[in-house]
Amino acid sequence: MNKLQQIIYNNGERLVPYVSHDESELIRHRSSYSFFHSVITSDLVSHPLDNIHVSVADLGFGSGYGCALLSSLPESSITGVDIGKECEIFARQYYPRSNINYLIEDIAQFIPKAEPFDYVVSRGVLEHVSDGLSLVKHIKFQRRVMIDVPYDEAPGNEHHVLTGIKENAFASLANCEFFYEDLEGRIFDAANKPERSNMIMVVISSPELPKVSSLFQFPLQPVRDNKLEILSGVKATGSRYYFDSVVELLAAVEKTVKETEVVVDIGCGIVPMSYFRPKLHFMVEPSQEYSAILKYRHAGDKSVIVIRAGALEALHQLGTNSVDSIFLLDVIEHLEKEEGHKVIIESERVAREQIMIFTPLGYMPQHMEGSQADGWGLGGCSVQEHRSGWEPEDFGAAWSFYICKNFHNVDFKGDALKQTYGAFYAIRNFDMKVVAKPERFVDIRRPLPSERELELQKNCYQTLDNRYQALVHSRPVMLALLLRRILRKVKKWCSEKINRFLN
């Protein structure tokens, strides 16, 4: 984190999207604001405002991420209120919007004097204020108030002055509904209250509006995609690492590769990824010629499953969080841009630990004639055409990028290119995806031909070395060595005697 991010982080009390905390906290945060957004959107459709313009206050805006998500509401004016000056500095730098006004003020003083807003929202804030719960009844609003706080939290968090908050804390509020968010980010209504709730969400509504529980089918699933972020213009570029040489780039990337058990290797051609040997290796290849070669090379190895299919076709057949790692090395540039984006989304759904993508930096032309041989001297020209170019901006903010701007100097035939093209690795880690895995995974790997050849060479060397050691330590050789030492001593004695006689 940079200095400003460290300040806003506040020992973990504020979320810095895609930088601080884990992915599950980001999902919970995004899911809450998506709920606020969905409720307001539904109201504006069924009960449009007379003046069209909708005003929203976000109490305790923190980094400004939530305000930015709400800013995509049509004809909206968002007012973020927080007590920390650093919040305003951060929000104006990272989430500036023409329809957001960030105010620095204590909400305990702001609420009593504020004019009514159409909607007032707040997430994870009132537990920090000594009289936070009593402030709720003083909030002036036209349509709804939506506030969530930790549910029945045990004492221990030094930043939280209010703990143990349950439904009875809001008993005096009229037209009040309760909703609950669990640790996965699912949101439940009171009729389907989960056994373990992370947050309790209190919604106070104007009498003329329908109950929120009637608007949706609960529970609402966690918001894992970034569609609302894209709609709201929220852009975070992820971590970027630049390297001057190809060797430095490859060395750095190799350190980031997670050695996992189940791998889907998409578009691997005849050269699958070789960072490690997984216990189950799905090799997905659309070319009949390439897949036939893969099947021949790995015949009899039950740990290798060759699938002749395209990227999307293969991913659609896989369950959510069903494999550990997905590799797309020199693949995505061969797809149309729209299809490539779908592949990325599907990969994020299927992988539970890591995705690794390698592609040229920007569009790198590569055209092949129908009769032309590919880089392996085979007839795979139909799948070697470059159809799209990619930049780090094409990926979500949760990705990390390892970039070398002078990677490609020659084409697939080894001929010099007229200009140098860069390349990058886009790597997505899912550190917080909690998926039950078998306690024991049977190792059914069979050695590769190259591994068998290496093992044979080692065995031959070991045999020769054993025979050499046996010969060296045999009785005849030991006697011969002893005789040689005696003869050397005799020679030395005779030489000394002759020298003395001559002198």
DSSP per-residue string spanning 394-435: GS-TT-EEEEEEEEEEE-TTSPEEEEEEEEEEEEEE-TT---
- The residue with tokens 């923190």 is 62
**Per-residue pLDDT at 251:** 93
Q: Determine the Cα–Cα distance for residues 18 and 179; give it in Å rounded to an integer.
A: 26
**Per-residue pLDDT at 230:** 84
What is the mean predicted confidence (pLDDT) over 404-422? 84
- The residue with tokens 């025979």 is 467
Q: How confident is the model at residue 139 (pLDDT cuts 50, 70, 90)?
A: very high
pTM value?
A: 0.55
Buried b (16+ CB within 10 A) or exposed e, 265-303: bbbbbbebbebeebebbbbbbbbebbbebbeebbeeeeb
**Per-residue pLDDT at 434:** 56
Do 166 and 197 meet the contact criterion of CB atoms below 8 Å apart?
no
Angle at CA of residue 452, ends 447 and 453, nearest 5°: 150
**Per-residue pLDDT at 484:** 86
Q: Determine the Cα–Cα distance for residues 400 and 256; give it in Å rounded to an integer.
A: 10
**Per-residue pLDDT at 481:** 83
Residue scoring higher pLDDT (75 or 412): 75
Summarize pLDDT for 294-349 with one digit per residue, the tens. 999 999 888 999 999 999 999 999 999 999 999 999 999 999 999 999 999 999 99
pLDDT of 6 above 70: yes
Query: In sequence order, what E strands does 138-233 have?
Result: 141-150, 176-181, 187-189, 199-205
Q: Determine the Cα–Cα distance for residues 246 and 423; give it in Å rounded to an integer.
A: 9
pLDDT of 236 above 60: no
Tell me the pairing of strands 187-189 and 239-243: unpaired
What is the mean predicted confidence (pLDDT) over 21-34? 89
**Per-residue pLDDT at 466:** 83
Mean predicted lDDT score pLDDT of the chain: 88
Which two three-digit tokens encode residue 403? 């970039």
Residue scoring higher pLDDT (241 or 439): 241
pLDDT of 448 above 70: no
CA separation (Å) from 54 to 36, 51, 102, 349?
13, 8, 17, 35
pLDDT of 166 above 80: yes
**Per-residue pLDDT at 394:** 85
- The residue with tokens 């004492």 is 155
Provide the percentage of residues in the chain whose pLDDT is more than 70: 90
CA separation (Å) from 306 to 15, 220, 263, 267, 284?
43, 38, 12, 11, 6
Name every residue whose Cβ is closer than 8 Å to that of residue 417 and which is 6 or more positions away in sequence: 408, 409, 410, 411
Q: Determine the Cα–Cα distance for residues 363 and 343; give it in Å rounded to an integer.
A: 18
Three-class DSSP labels, 217-248: CCCECCCCCCHHHHHCCCCCCCEEEEECCHHH
CA separation (Å) from 148 to 40, 42, 55, 201, 275?
16, 20, 19, 4, 45
pLDDT of 396 above 90: no
SS3 362: strand
**Per-residue pLDDT at 80:** 96
